[in-house]
Amino acid sequence: MPSEPLGILLLSGEHDRAHYAFVLATGAAALGRRVVLFATNAGCRALLADWSGLADAARDERVRQRGVAGMDELRDAAVELGIRMIVCEAGLRAEALADEKLMESVEIGGVATFLSEAAGGQIVAI
């Protein structure tokens, strides 16, 4: 079982990429890996309480109808699995998103926080 952390850098505001970032994060956490998900720029939308601002958000319903976990289920699982979710302060500002619209469990930080948390592990950019 890998003990090194997995850092996931979510840059995209597209539903398919945000969805898969959560699939990857929850899968790794379920296998016992420490995971940190860092969202910046348009990817910040995936960590808002209302993620419907993602591009092609309607895709979520199609995914769920085909028996695949949707964003709500995956985000709930991420919280339950203890995945550290950080939204980039600069990314929030760049996208003109309000801090108070974030999911409860999301913290605001910067790239140094993300890199420190992922140190010694793998980083995947989506």
pLDDT value at 19 more than 70: yes
pLDDT tens per residue across span 24-79: 999 999 999 999 999 999 999 999 999 999 999 999 999 999 999 999 999 999 99
Phi-psi region for residue 58, left (φ > 0), alpha (ψ -120 to 50) or beta? alpha
pLDDT tens per residue across span 6-16: 999 999 999 99
Domain ranges of the chain: 6-125
Phi then psi for 10, rounded to 5 degrees?
A: -100, 110
User: What is the reported pLDDT for 1?
Assistant: 52
Structure tokens at 53: 């601002």
One CATH from 3.90.950.10, 3.40.1260.10, 3.30.930.10, 3.30.450.40 for 6-125: 3.40.1260.10
At 99, the pLDDT band (50, 70, 90 cuts) reads very high
